[in-house]
Structure 1
Amino acid sequence: MAVRLNRKALAHARKLIEAGKVERDVRDDWSEHAPSKDQENSFIDKHGFGNFAEWHLGRDDEKSKETKGSVSFPFGDFSKVHRCAVISLESRAAQHGHDDIRDAAKKLLELMDSD
């Protein structure tokens, strides 16, 4: 499997959660809360692709570098970690056999819920 855990993004998510930058929404909210393609492009233009990648728990080194296709499993809106996004990505990671990403998502949820 080409997609693997983006450890830099995992560290970024943990820091955000520990700083209280969490949106405690419910499971099905991610479709409404996820950044649009225009918001993604604007973020990349302002902050660079490296910062954009830090908002995705999955990375695929077989894809062209610095393309949206090289990252997956987003967990926030570029300001906060969304609980609904982490729930969604945990489920998708499990469905597709990305156990390392699934396990990281579970730990992020535990960290969010421990407050």
Structure 2
Amino acid sequence: MTLNRAAFDYARELIAHGRLVADKKGSWRKHHPSRSEENEFIHNHGFQEYAKWHLGVDRRHGEETKEHYKFPFGDFAVLHRCGLLAVRARAHQYGYAEIEAAADQLLSRIELRQPTR
């Protein structure tokens, strides 16, 4: 598993342009796209756009498969803080340090934009 650099850069853009939801830990279950939403997005936009929403890539699977893309962080419209929290936790759990560090950097950027009170 390796970091999807293009997705990392895209997430930075989303944060910079305010296209994010600064939601709480545990909210990802209700914001994570369903399989049918993923399939519809791929049908309408292709795998290149689908890839932008996933911080990890699994090179054991072809680029034109959903299995190639791991660690989603948004709902195909906005980035979700809860998605990045889930990415960071799962990456840590499975030992993907590069992906964990990338999620942490993105979360730090969100905190700089919207400081906690």
TM-score tier after normalising by the smaller chain length: over 0.9
> Which residue of 90, 93, 109 maps to 2:91?
93
**Corresponding residue of 2:35:** 37
**Corresponding residue of 1:76:** 74
The one-letter code matched in structure 1 to 2:61 is K
> 5 Å matches for 1:50-69?
50-69=48-67
Find the residue that maps to 2:75 and give its secondary structure. coil
The one-letter code matched in structure 2 to 1:85 is G
Equivalent-residue separation in structure 2 for 1:96 and 1:73 (angstroms)? 12
**Deviation at residue 75 of structure 1 after TM alignment:** 0.4
Equivalent-residue separation in structure 2 for 1:57 and 1:87 (angstroms)? 12
Percent identity over paired residues? 42
Q: Specify every segment of 5 or more residues in structure 2 that has no aligned partner in the other structure, as ranges.
A: none
**Deviation at residue 64 of structure 1 after TM alignment:** 2.2
> Which residue of 12, 15, 24 maps to 1:14?
12
What's the TM-score once normalised by structure 2's chain length?
A: 0.94
Equivalent-residue separation in structure 2 for 1:65 and 1:74 (angstroms)? 15
The one-letter code matched in structure 1 to 2:41 is F
The one-letter code matched in structure 2 to 1:95 is Q
Equivalent-residue separation in structure 2 for 1:64 and 1:78 (angstroms)? 21
**Corresponding residue of 1:106:** 104
